[in-house]
Copies of this chain bind each other. A is one copy, B any other.
Amino acid sequence: MQPLRIGIAGLGTVARGVLGLFAASAGHLERQAGRPLKLVRVASRTPRPEADLAGAEFSTDLGTLLHDDVDVVVELIGGEDRAARLVRDAISCGQSVVTANKAIIARFGDELLAGAAKQGVGLGFEAAVAGGIPIIGSLTRGLAASRVRTVAGIINGTSNYILTAMAEQGSTFADALAAAQSLGYAEADPTFDVEGIDAAHKLSILAALAFDVGFGMDGVFTEGIAGVTAEDIGYAAELGYGIKHLGIARRSDNGIEARVHPTLVPEHGMLAQVRGVMNAVLIESDAAGASLFHGAGAGAGPTASSVVSDLIAIARGEALKYRAGGGERQMLPMSAVQSAFYLRIPARDAPGVFGKVANILGANDISIEGAVQRERAIRINGDGSRSSWVPIVILTDSVREAVMDAAIAAVQAMPEVVGNIKCMRVEHFD
């Protein structure tokens, strides 16, 4: 049979993973695809003479990939503008595209999918979310019959590595981040990972596929892990919870919500077991119930595995056509989102303080589900004097965020409260 002729843009880690997979598994890939996968062109700004291009023609000009001897362009240059332009151009030329680029799919998915549909070509992005986990295929094919209620994922390995090190080794955030950087799990500038932007891109893609809300970053609430402290991890553990950085998208009676933030999850649930740089995505759907997909979220091998699985699908003649969003994108504002809460309230050690807090919560119809009032702490004040205070830690039942915000403001205003209240969301999945 005719080979599928492939052009690769980029020669970074993932591209070299793809080249390595071609070199190591050509026979396996041809058997799977039903025909040879033939690398005909590679383009990259930075030549890498040491890379084995399997006889493909190399150029520093991305435009060479738009040649009609290329059936599929594999976009692995990263970034946004140049990558999006290449993908648009390839689609316009009638080429199928496979990309690992979460940012361009999250931002321009509707436009790119509409273009691909118009041209009758495929656009595959299995590698854009959770590296080696086939979550795009599972969501759009395997679970296609079961209406999704919730997607909840640990979809940034760097953040999970840091939280795991803090929980298991007692590391500080700074030390855990430094360790992640020295192991190559975090970039020199870790902003994208630790501030949740990377996870928000991935969540936005999952939400678009699960709920038909269209692609885009509007209305995706994003909070990173920098505010998680060892103290919170300790209290959470006492209450029977682990702290994970989750991306959550949910269809509720009020609308579709999408949010990325540190979350308390029950310590015996599957999500709490996800350690180190591993990723996992939990999908709750009407017919299939709770399904969890766990695996490597990044790295050359796993990401290349997903890139090449998309190439195999194209070689087999499968569609790789995902619906672009139909209706208006209208995400639920955070103020309307419901969840349970963890509150840590630094308060002066005076009689009746806990009762006052409980009264304020009760007045807002917020029930207390659990509490820790552990030890007395001593604070050294600015003037050198000391005062005695206790951290009051409370777990509430599920409540609308606007209501919780109001209650927290009222508690914060209590004269006995001596510092900022720490607040994190708590989720109980099936």
Contacts of A147 in B (CB 8 A): 25, 28
Contacts of A85 in B (CB 8 A): none
User: Does A316 sit at the interface, judged by CB under 8 A?
Assistant: yes
Query: Which of B29, B144, B306 is A32 in contact with, Cβ under 8 Å?
Result: B144
- Name A300's closest neighbour in chain B (CB-CB): B287
User: Does A424 sit at the interface, judged by CB under 8 A?
Assistant: no
Contacts of A268 in B (CB 8 A): 273
Contacts of A301 in B (CB 8 A): 146, 286-289
A134 touches B138 (CB 8 A): yes
Q: A289-B301, A319-B316 are in contact. Are A142 and B146 (CB under 8 A)?
A: no
Residues of A within 8 A of B (CB): 17, 21, 24-25, 28-29, 31-33, 126, 132-134, 137-138, 141-147, 212, 268, 270, 273, 285-296, 299, 301-302, 304-309, 311-313, 316-319, 323
Query: Which of B132, B144, B299, B323 is A309 in contact with, Cβ under 8 Å?
Result: B144
Nearest-Cβ distance from residue A293 to partner chain B, whole angstroms: 6
Q: A32-B145, A134-B138, A134-B141 are in contact. Are A305 and B319 (CB under 8 A)?
A: no
**What are 26 residue pairs bridging A and B, where the CB atoms are less than 8 Å apart in the complex?**
A24-B286, A134-B138, A134-B141, A134-B142, A137-B138, A137-B142, A141-B141, A141-B309, A141-B312, A142-B309, A143-B305, A144-B309, A144-B312, A145-B304, A145-B307, A273-B273, A287-B301, A287-B304, A288-B295, A288-B305, A289-B295, A289-B302, A290-B295, A316-B319, A317-B319, A318-B318
Tally of this chain's copies: 2
Given A142-B309, A270-B270, A317-B319, 10 more pairs with CB closer than 8 A:
A21-B145, A25-B286, A31-B212, A132-B288, A134-B137, A134-B138, A141-B141, A144-B313, A288-B306, A292-B293
Query: Which of B33, B138, B288, B296 is A288 in contact with, Cβ under 8 Å?
Result: B296
Among all A-B residue pairs, the 10 with the closest Cβ atoms = A134-B142, A145-B308, A132-B288, A291-B295, A287-B305, A288-B305, A292-B294, A146-B305, A287-B301, A289-B296
